């Protein structure tokens, strides 16, 4: 049927070309004369059109799904048929009866009309198909932020998907030269018109289609949209477009990580890969958020051998399954063990003799450690001591410890235990050739047990979201940022340093909770309630990265600093031994009393141990 229709279109184009040639005025005798010449050529016209269209497979595609590549093939096929007609005309004129197949002016017009009519016909069929197959339900109004290539492709994708009920109202773009213009029929607006557009069109979704948008700008436009009740989505990275994985379902809701409000911390050190080349590296706490992130980063840096240690069997098994999917030359060994088991750790070091140790194993949950001080001391201090001393005994080049901002002016057992561990490794750095390095950072977004996964579960369950205090703030960083800090510390550190990040302004947890509710398309306090439960034992309202008594030195990177801490005095070394012995007896109060002597700035907050400060 399509072949016949195309032939009728071509015959009409030929007839129309003759009418134009004769200025739409032709008497019967002229028509009869022209027909006598044309009738001998018409079979050739039809044959060539059918053959050339068959060669170019013009009729193999579905008309309703015609694309620009189909239109391009039609144009080339029409051009070739016209060239064949010109060649045939020359042969007939000079070799046969002295007549052309068709006048040259007719061939030129026939080419133009045939190409236009065939392509237009397919375009009309495509539009009608899209219109009549589209769900006739109420359409959602969509805005796209970014009128560039990504934005235009996103618009086409949405309009092509007949199953979705979305209509692109317009583009938002910072380029003032585009404001008021139309791109593919869709108007471009200034971002400051978002509120007016929402009032006029009831915008449901704003899609961010700028690949490398500054985080501060992303935060600004997203917060404005969320306040207006507009859902935020973002197109995937460009590589998803290249491999053909980009579709409507891949336009995902923006995640809370994107709304930190500060630039992403980037560390680009060309020496990093060489630093880990041909090295055996031990990672303790490897199944945790930071430990597994470090392991993945070390694989990316082409470390030769990784020893991944954790006492959590199931979590380590899941990590093994994840890494088995990677194509890597890194040899990976998975070890179950407790860092406080000195015999097990001794065997581990004797067997593998690591060149570097990344010590991420620690108990980190503040209320649990407040209730179990002896275990916090045993693991966070005693376990660190065992691993750190074995690193020196087996001549490891570096020992890199993962610490926390809770170690600064601690108000809880967990923070104090990490501060004492920092003091311990700093003191060991003065005794051995192993370089002992500490990294200290704030809360890690999305880590196990952190506030974001908790809020996500509470939202999924319909609320309420619970937080301990309306004024509580925290510093945040992502897992990749944290792992970059640790690897950079290993690369630039010489021993004895405490590396910290300038993480910008702290984030108010109440604001974080509101944004997460809004990102889910819901309204705080209306759809999902937020409840204040009161500070937990040992919890701070505000956390710090650097203590008041500390000062810092700059590094080559403006966001990476080195904290100078006071040296560990000889009496403190004996007190740490005494602390471990006391904790072994499960004497919690006596253990915390020794911790407060070791760390004078440790003042308990909302805790049973406040009485020890009086």
pLDDT tens digits, residue range 391-434? 999 999 999 999 988 888 899 999 999 999 999 999 899 889 99
Query: What pLDDT does 411 receive?
Result: 92
Residue 471 in domain: no
Is the domain of 123 the same as that of 150? no
| Band of residue 611 on the pLDDT scale cut at 50, 70, 90 | very high
Residues in Cβ contact with 458 at an 8 Å cutoff, skipping those fewer than 6 apart: 464, 465, 466, 528
**Rounded to two decimals, what is the model's pTM?**
0.68
601 compared with 453, residue with greater pLDDT = 601
Q: Beta-carbon neighbour count of residue 527 at 10 Å?
A: 14
Question: Looking at residues 555-573, what average pLDDT do you find?
Answer: 74
Q: What CATH number should be reported for the domain holding residue 579? A: 3.40.50.720
**pLDDT, position 530:** 92
The catalytically annotated residue of 364, 406, 418, 514 is: 406
pLDDT at 296: 92
Lowest mean pLDDT among 242-256, 379-393, 433-447: 242-256
Buried b (16+ CB within 10 A) or exposed e, 411-424: bbbbbbbbbbbbbb
**Domain end among 105, 133, 161:** 133
Which of these, 212, 166, 188, 266, lies nearest to 556 by C-alpha position? 266
DSSP secondary structure letter of residue 24: T
Strand partners, 552: 563
Do 168 and 126 share a structural domain? Answer: no
Q: Rounded to an integer, what distance in angstroms lies between the CA atom of residue 296 and that of residue 405?
A: 24
Distance CA 534, CA 514 (A): 18
Q: Is residue 456 part of a domain?
A: no
What's phi and psi for 164, nearest 5 deg?
A: -90, 150
Tell me whether strands 473-474 and 551-554 are parallel, antiparallel or unpaired. unpaired
Are 329 and 233 found together in one domain? no
Task: Give the C-alpha separation, 448 to 362, whole Å.
Answer: 13
CA atoms 129, 133, 137, 142: torsion sign: negative
Calpha distance 135→34 (Å, rounded): 52
Tell me the percentage of the chain whose pLDDT exceeds 90: 30
Asked whether residue 437 falls in the same domain as residue 296, the answer is yes
Question: What is the C-alpha to C-alpha distance for residues 439 and 562, in angstroms, rounded to an integer?
Answer: 9
Instruction: With a cut of 80, say whether residue 577 has pLDDT above it.
Output: yes
pLDDT band at residue 548 under the 50/70/90 scheme: very low
Residue 467 lies in a domain: no
Mapping DSSP to helix (H, G, I), strand (E, B) and coil, where does residue 508 land? Answer: strand
Domain membership of residue 465 (yes or no) is: no
pLDDT tens, residue by residue, 67-122: 677 777 778 888 888 888 788 777 777 777 666 677 777 778 888 888 888 777 77
What range defines the domain where residue 91 resides? 2-133
**DSSP helix/strand/coil, 532:** strand
Report how far residue 317's alpha carbon sits from residue 110's, in angstroms, rounded to the nearest whole number. Answer: 71
- Is 406 one of the annotated active-site residues of the chain? yes
pLDDT greater than 60 at residue 522 = yes
Residue 473 lies in a domain: no
Q: What is the pLDDT of residues 305-343, one digit of tens each?
A: 999 999 999 999 999 999 988 878 889 999 999 999 999
- Let me know if residue 226 belongs to a domain: yes
pLDDT greater than 90 at residue 523: no
Same domain, 128 and 216: no
Q: Are residues 287 and 402 in the same domain?
A: yes
Using the 3D structure, point to which of 133, 157, 187 is the last residue of a domain: 133
Number of domains in the chain: 3
Are residues 289 and 187 located together in one domain of the fold? no
- pLDDT bin (cut points 50, 70, 90) of residue 353 is very high
Which pLDDT score is estimated for 298?
92
CB–CB of 379/284 below 8 Å? no
According to the model, what pLDDT value does residue 549 have?
Answer: 47
Q: Are residues 363 and 322 in the same domain?
A: yes
Element (H, E) at 104: helix 104-133
Contacts of 67 (CB under 8 A, 6+ apart): none
Residue 260's pLDDT band (cuts 50, 70, 90): low
Tell me if 220 sits within 8 A of 441, measured CB to CB. no
| β-pairing verdict for 280-284 and 356-359 | parallel
pLDDT at 470 over 50: yes
Question: For residue 464, is the peptide bond before it cis, meaning its omega torsion is within 30 degrees of 0?
Answer: yes
């Amino acid at each position: 049927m399509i072949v016949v229709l195309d032939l009728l279109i071509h015959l009409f184009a030929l007839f129309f070309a003759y009418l134009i040639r004769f200025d739409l005025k032709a008497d019967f005798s002229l028509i009869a004369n022209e027909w006598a010449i044309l009738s001998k050529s018409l079979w050739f016209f039809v044959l060539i059109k059918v053959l050339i269209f068959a060669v170019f497979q013009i009729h193999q595609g579905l008309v309703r799904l015609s694309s620009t590549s189909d239109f391009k093939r039609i144009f080339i096929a029409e051009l070739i048929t016209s060239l064949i007609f010109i060649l045939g005309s020359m042969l007939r004129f000079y070799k046969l009866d002295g007549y052309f197949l068709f006048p040259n002016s007719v061939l030129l017009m026939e080419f133009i009309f045939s190409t236009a009519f065939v392509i237009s016909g397919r375009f009309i069929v495509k539009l009608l198909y899209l219109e009549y197959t589209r769900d006739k339900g109420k359409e959602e109004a969509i805005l796209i932020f970014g009128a560039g290539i990504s934005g235009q492709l996103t618009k086409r994708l949405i309009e092509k998907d007949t199953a979705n009920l979305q209509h692109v109202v317009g583009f938002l773009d910072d380029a003032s030269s585009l404001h008021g213009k139309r791109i593919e029929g869709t108007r471009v607006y200034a971002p400051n018109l978002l509120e007016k557009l929402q009032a006029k069109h009831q915008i449901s979704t704003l899609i961010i289609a700028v690949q490398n948008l500054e985080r501060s700008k992303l935060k600004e436009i997203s917060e404005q949209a969320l306040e207006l009740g507009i859902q935020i989505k973002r197109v995937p990275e460009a590589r998803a477009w290249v491999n053909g994985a980009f579709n409507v379902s891949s336009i995902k809701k923006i995640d809370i990580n994107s709304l930190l409000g500060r630039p992403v911390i980037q560390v680009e050190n060309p020496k990093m890969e060489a630093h880990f080349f041909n090295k055996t590296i031990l990672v303790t706490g490897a199944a945790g958020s930071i430990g597994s992130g470090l392991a993945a980063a070390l694989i990316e840096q082409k470390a030769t051998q990784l020893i991944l240690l954790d006492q959590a069997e199931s979590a380590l098994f899941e990590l093994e399954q994840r890494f088995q999917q990677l194509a890597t030359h890194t040899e990976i060994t998975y070890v179950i063990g407790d860092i406080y088991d000195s015999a097990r750790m001794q065997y581990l070091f004797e067997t593998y003799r690591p060149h570097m140790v990344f010590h991420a194993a620690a108990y980190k949950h503040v209320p649990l450690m407040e209730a179990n001080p002896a275990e916090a001391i045993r693991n966070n201090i005693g376990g660190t001591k065992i691993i750190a001393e074995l690193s020196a005994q087996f001549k490891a080049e570096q020992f890199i410890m993962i610490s926390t901002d809770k170690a600064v002016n601690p108000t809880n057992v967990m923070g104090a235990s990490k501060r004492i561990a920092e003091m311990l490794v700093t003191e060991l750095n003065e005794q051995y050739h192993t370089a002992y390095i500490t990294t200290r950072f704030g809360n890690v977004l999305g880590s196990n047990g952190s506030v974001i996964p908790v809020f996500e579960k509470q939202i999924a369950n319909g609320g309420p979201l619970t937080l301990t205090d309306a004024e509580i703030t925290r510093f945040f960083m992502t897992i990749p940022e944290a792992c970059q800090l640790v690897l950079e510390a290993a690369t630039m550190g010489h021993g004895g340093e405490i590396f910290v990040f300038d993480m910008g302004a702290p984030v108010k947890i109440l604001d974080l909770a509101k944004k997460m509710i809004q990102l889910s398309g819901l309204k705080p306090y209306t759809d999902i309630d937020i409840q204040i439960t009161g500070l937990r034992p040992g919890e701070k309202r505000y956390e710090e990265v650097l203590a008041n008594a500390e000062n810092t030195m700059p590094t080559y990177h403006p966001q990476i600093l080195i904290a100078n801490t006071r040296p560990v005095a000889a009496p403190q070394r004996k007190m740490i031994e005494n602390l471990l012995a006391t904790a072994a007896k499960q004497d919690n109060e006596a253990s915390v009393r020794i911790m407060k002597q070791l760390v004078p700035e440790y003042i308990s907050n909302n805790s049973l141990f406040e009485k020890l400060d009086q």
